[in-house]
């Protein structure tokens, strides 16, 4: 079989990162090997995100640049997958005729067949499909048939496992229920099988992924008895060999006491949690259709901290949602002061085609959105720095990731902080190894320290 080079550019969330990994595995049996240099690729695939206008603009901008690549190499195949593909469909090929292939979010499993048809000279219409069939078990079929060659990915110690797809929540600003379809949970046995095979291949740090993992198992039967996400988490945690377990993303409205208690009772569940709040104003949360209030959110934060006092908490914030007044924004700032998040991702609101809020009145001007975002981020940076200083003089279990900046070793704490420290000539450190680091420096985005000799 002729070997060809594959370059995948992934935009957006960890769900997309995992999908890109699956695409790599699907295309390996066709002779496609991943390369780091886009210029050497025979197939360039953009796995896209449409959550914000800026993310979509980046996709179109890169597609524009790829026109030159295609002119200098007419045999190059260019494909678009993911949420922009799902949303834009035919429009992509109309705007960018040099694109060969457009596959919707549920159609990535058809990629080998579609590429085979392109190889045979057949032109393709975009494949846009929201068919709610959950196809990840197909990967097991590939493995079972012995067709799945070793991918570079499974040797890595850090792995994502998708436990569900889609979402039923219809937050008014979000396109996910339209681009990824309705919520479907994978069967428990499939998830446990996949985690076991990841661990056997060397993974020790597992993250369970879904758009709203808290509602896992609630909309379709995934076992012969009802299963909650907390049940699943406990079963995954029993698989020998996992050192760190995480999950994302969580809608606060579905965060149960049973799930919060897991932070106290599952030792390998990392004390780091991303709980998107989006706004500190009840009026805006209602307009966003988030189905919780600020008081509900604070109640969850108190519960989490009761079960796990050392929990590092992150969140997402949207500023400038339609109708957001100065008072609403001040309430978001007040929430930031009250919770003192360790970190946050904050964005200016942008209209997304298909999202209900696109038709809302009282849009906030770009100038006001920018001012609010700058103010929020400046204060968050100050709080993150103060939070990080709380780790000074403490000893932190750090999982080695590899070489970082300035010749330092880079690792990650269980609280998800980047930790940099000098290596030593006497001790070779392997990625995935957990070492003890004494923290003696704290910045806004990372910690620095000294490697201790004690073994864990
Ligand atoms: S919970 Fe809301 S924001 Fe998250 S994916 Fe679902 S609709 Fe989008």
**Which of 13, 176, 210, 274, when mutated, tests ligand 1's pocket best, judged by the most ligand atoms within 8 Å of its CB?**
176
Atom number of ligand 1 nearest to Cα 251: 1
Look at residue 140 and tell me whether its pLDDT is greater than 50. no
Look at residue 139 and tell me whether its pLDDT is greater than 80. no
Of 13-22, 34-43, 306-315, 434-443, give the lowest mean pLDDT range. 13-22
**Distance from C-alpha of 20 to C-alpha of 45, rounded to nearest angstrom:** 9
Whether 191 contacts 163, CB under 8 Å: yes
**pLDDT over 70 percentage in the chain:** 93
Any idea where the domains of the chain sit in the sequence? 4-119, 156-270, 272-390, 395-451
Q: How large is the average pLDDT for residues 28-33?
A: 91
> Token pair of 93, please?
């090929």
Residue bearing the CA closest to ligand 1, atom 8? 174
**Which of 251, 276, 349, when mutated, tests ligand 1's pocket best, judged by the most ligand atoms within 8 Å of its CB?**
251
CATH number for the segment(s) 395-451 = 2.40.50.140
* Fold observed for domain 156-270: Transcription Regulator spoIIAA (3.30.750)
Mean pLDDT over the full length of the chain: 90
What is the reported pTM?
0.84
Atom number of ligand 1 nearest to Cα 167: 6
For the CA atoms of 333, 337, 341, 343, the dihedral, rounded to the nearest 10 degrees, stands at 50
Residue 126 confidence (pLDDT): 67
Q: Please check whether the domain covering 4-119 is classified as CATH 3.30.460.10.
A: no
Residue 45 confidence (pLDDT): 95
Q: Do domains 272-390 and 395-451 have the same CATH topology?
A: no
- 323 prior amide bond cis, ω within 30: no
Residue bearing the CA closest to ligand 1, atom 4? 211
Q: Which residues contact 119 (CB under 8 A, 6 or more apart)?
A: none
Q: Which residues form ligand 1's pocket by a CB distance below 6 Å?
A: 167, 169-171, 174, 176-177, 211-212, 251
Alpha carbon of residue 237 to chain centroid: 20
Helical axes 14-27 vs 111-119, angle rounded to 10°: 50
Q: How open is the CA angle 216-219-225, to the nearest 5 degrees?
A: 75
* Fold observed for domain 272-390: Transcription Regulator spoIIAA (3.30.750)
- How far is the centre of ligand 1, averaged over its atoms, from the C-alpha of 82 (Å)? 16
**Which of 165, 177, 184, 356, when mutated, tests ligand 1's pocket best, judged by the most ligand atoms within 8 Å of its CB?**
177
Q: How large is the average pLDDT for residues 255-282?
A: 98
- How far is the centre of ligand 1, averaged over its atoms, from the C-alpha of 117 (Å)? 35
**Distance from C-alpha of 215 to C-alpha of 230, rounded to nearest angstrom:** 10
Beta strands in 52-188 (DSSP E): 77-82, 101-102, 158-162, 164-165, 184-185
**Which bin fits 330, alpha (ψ -120 to 50), beta or left (φ > 0)?**
alpha
State the CB neighbour count (10 A cutoff) for residue 444. 14
- How far is the centre of ligand 1, averaged over its atoms, from the C-alpha of 357 (Å)? 13
For the CA atoms of 133, 137, 141, 143, the dihedral, rounded to the nearest 10 degrees, stands at 140
- How far is the centre of ligand 1, averaged over its atoms, from the C-alpha of 250 (Å)? 9
């Amino acid at each position: 079989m002729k070997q060809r080079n594959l370059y995948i550019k992934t935009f957006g969330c960890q769900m997309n990162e995992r999908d890109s990994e699956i695409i790599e595995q699907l295309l390996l049996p066709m002779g496609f090997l991943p390369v780091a240099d886009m210029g050497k690729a025979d197939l360039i695939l953009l796995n896209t995100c449409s959550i914000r206008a800026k993310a979509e603009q980046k996709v179109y901008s890169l597609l524009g640049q790829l026109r030159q690549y295609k002119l200098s190499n007419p045999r190059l195949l260019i494909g678009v997958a993911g949420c922009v593909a799902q949303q834009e469909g035919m429009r992509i090929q109309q705007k960018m005729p040099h694109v060969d292939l457009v596959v919707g979010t549920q159609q990535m499993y058809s990629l080998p067949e579609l590429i085979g048809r392109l190889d045979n000279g057949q032109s393709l219409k975009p494949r846009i499909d929201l068919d709610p069939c959950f196809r990840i078990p197909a990967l097991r079929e590939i493995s079972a048939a012995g067709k799945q060659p070793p991918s570079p990915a499974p040797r890595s110690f850090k792995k994502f496992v998708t436990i569900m797809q889609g979402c039923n929540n219809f937050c008014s600003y979000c396109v996910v229920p339209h681009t990824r379809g309705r919520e479907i949970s994978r069967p428990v046995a499939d998830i446990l099988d996949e985690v076991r095979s990841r661990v056997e291949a060397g993974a020790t740090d597992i993250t369970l992924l879904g758009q709203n993992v808290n509602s896992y198992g609630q909309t379709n039967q995934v076992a012969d008895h009802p299963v909650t996400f907390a049940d699943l988490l406990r079963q995954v945690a029993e698989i020998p060999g996992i050192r760190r377990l995480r999950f994302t993303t969580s809608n606060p409205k579905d965060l149960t006491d049973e799930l919060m208690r897991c932070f106290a009772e599952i030792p390998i569940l990392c004390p780091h949690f991303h709980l998107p709040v989006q706004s500190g104003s009840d009026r805006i949360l209602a307009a966003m259709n988030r189905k919780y209030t600020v008081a509900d959110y604070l109640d969850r934060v108190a519960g989490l901290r009761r079960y796990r006092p050392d929990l590092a908490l992150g969140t997402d914030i949207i500023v400038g949602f339609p109708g957001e007044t100065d008072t609403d924004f001040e309430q978001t700032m007040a929430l930031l002061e009250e919770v003192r998040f360790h970190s946050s991702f904050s964005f200016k609101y942008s209209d997304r085609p298909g999202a209900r809020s696109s038709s809302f009145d009282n849009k906030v001007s770009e100038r006001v959105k920018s001012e609010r975002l700058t103010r929020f981020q400046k204060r968050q940076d100050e709080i993150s720095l103060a939070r990080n200083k709380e780790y000074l003089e403490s000893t932190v279990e750090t999982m080695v990731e590899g070489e970082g900046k300035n010749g330092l070793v880079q690792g990650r704490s269980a609280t998800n902080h980047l930790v940099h420290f000098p290596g030593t000539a006497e001790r070779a450190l392997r990625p995935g190894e957990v070492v003890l680091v004494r923290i003696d420096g704290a910045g806004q985005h990372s910690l620095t320290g000294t490697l201790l000799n004690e073994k864990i």
